[in-house]
Amino acid sequence: MYVLYSTLLGAALFLSLPYWIYQMLRHGKYHTGLFQRLGRVPPHLSRSSQPTVWMHAVSVGEVLAVSGLVDQLRVRLPGYRMVISTTTDTGQQLARDRFGADNVFYFPIDLGFAIRPYLDTLRPQLIVIAETEFWPNFLRLASRTGAHIAVVNARISDRSWRGYQRLRWWLRTVIANVDLFLAQTQEDSNRLVDIGAPKSRIEVTGNLKFDLKPTQPPTVIANLRDSFRATGAAPILVCGSTADDEEERMLLQAFQNILASYPHATMILAPRHPERFAAVATLLESLGIHFLRRSLWSGEPLSGGVLLLDTIGELSAIYGLADIAFVGGSLVPKGGHNIIEPARHGVAIVVGNHTENFRDIIGLFQSHDAVRVVGPAELPLVLMELISNEAERTALGQRAAETLRSQSGASEKTVAALQKLLAPAPAAIAAGQKG
């Protein structure tokens, strides 16, 4: 099956080559790190005398999730080298900012010729995979080296579960290479068992994203806050991780309704994918809405208009400026996105009714009356209601922050579980003997 899988994957990559070339030329995607993905180990990952922990985080969300975990492991495992791989360019950029460029690289494609050079160079004692990335060849080859493999913050979405069930007969063999699964919820644990993971290797440790600490806000936050105060811009509506033109059109139409009653209202609109920034700018122009791009903003008044957030890594802090936060991918059937970032700021949160990918988190917040879930028809009415009712808006945000605080502790449980997989590093042992 591995031979068949590799053959099919190689054929698929070859046949889709025109698509990848188009994406590189048209959107600039996948070009950066191409040779790393194909197995060329970058010089900064040259062999080290220290034992290595390899952390893999696909994109921005996973990088954020493991940030605290990496920090704690560096403290708890002082004799180990920590390296981090990502799949997406946005994840790579954030990981370099968070962990240092010398410790970060692109994850290789799932073919032996690309994987083996990394395993030979890094010789990892522990490989930690964020959420659920079951790459068959990678897991098999990594396990053969003797490395321990753990999947942390593991979750199985509704869509993934359906796909995994169809491949359960083979997936059982693939995930047998994983030593430890640390699941977000009991439901995720049950689904892991259903697709073939041994129950004895699964622990429920909670969601790492609940433990994220606010980062130092970028300078732009202070500049925006000063601009809003100077120009009387209010209320502030932050719409983050929006998914497509249909969703953004509905949000902008709702914003136009708000402007009729609150002419100084301001929207900060943050599309999920950077390659859509230009398309969203075109949509704003077609609707006749005054807007400025964040990358070009130099202090101009934003009252009564839209700031198009066409930058990476600022949305989390910008949620702190909001009177109301809308978290996108949810007015359209995209499965939604995580609401933890605005909750951390105690902001009133609104989402659409397509939140399947985050059903447990949304359900938790709903049980504490800490989020508003709306359909397209209800969206303008709920936004206007929250804008006009400051007491309810404030209380909704406070309940969100309290709900978030009640779920902390996943990082500590995860670190403790990972430490059990490792012997103390030689440097740590030597230090202990000297002491």
Domain-embedded: residue 9: no
- Residue 67 CA to its chain's centroid (Å): 11
**Residue pair 13/109 in contact by the 8 Å Cβ criterion:** yes
Any domain includes 89 = yes
Q: Is residue 294 part of a domain?
A: yes
| 246 has catalytic annotation | no
Q: Buried (b) or exposed (e) across 79-109, using 16+ Cβ within 10 A?
A: ebbbbbbbbbbbbbbbbbebbeeebbbbbbb
Q: Are residues 112 and 248 in the same domain?
A: no
What is the dihedral sign for C-alpha 262, 343, 216, 182?
Answer: negative
355 within some domain: yes
Residues 422 and 339 in one domain: no
Best CA proximity match to 154, nearest among 126, 180, 124, 125: 180
Residue 90's pLDDT is 87
Same domain, 32 and 158: yes
| pLDDT-flagged residues of the chain (< 70) | 27-31, 214-216, 423-435
Q: Would you say 361 and 381 are in contact if contact means Cβ atoms under 8 Å apart?
A: no
Read off the CATH number of the domain in which 274 is found. Answer: 3.40.50.2000
Instruction: Classify residue 70: in a domain, yes or no.
Output: yes
* Domain around 64: 27-41+49-206+409-434
Tens-place pLDDT, residues 308-317: 999 988 999 9
Look at residue 111 and give its three-state secondary structure: coil
Looking at the fold, whether 339 and 360 belong to one and the same domain comes out as yes
Pair 162, 229 in one domain: no
Instruction: Report CA torsion sign: 226, 229, 233, 237.
Output: positive
Give the predicted TM-score (pTM) of the model.
Answer: 0.83
Would you tell me how many other CB atoms lie within 10 Å of the CB of residue 387? 19
State how many domains the chain has.
Answer: 2
Q: What is the pLDDT of residue 51?
A: 94
- The CATH number of residue 191's host domain is 3.40.50.11720
Whether 341 and 422 map to the same domain: the answer is: no
Distance CA 358, CA 362 (A): 6
Which one of the listed residues 62, 131, 247, 341 is annotated catalytic?
62
146 and 278 fall within a common domain = no
* 100 and 150, same domain (yes or no): yes
Beta strand pairing call for 348-351 and 104-106: unpaired
> What pLDDT is recorded for position 431?
45
258 in the same domain as 292: yes
Task: Check whether residue 182 and residue 262 sit in a common domain.
Answer: no
> According to the model, what pLDDT value does residue 167 have?
87
369 in a structural domain: yes
Kind and range of the H or E run holding 293:
strand 291-293
Residue 6 resides in a domain: no
Q: What is the DSSP letter of 276?
A: G
Say if 3 falls within a structural domain: no
* Same domain? 65 vs 192: yes
Q: Are residues 253 and 126 in the same domain?
A: no
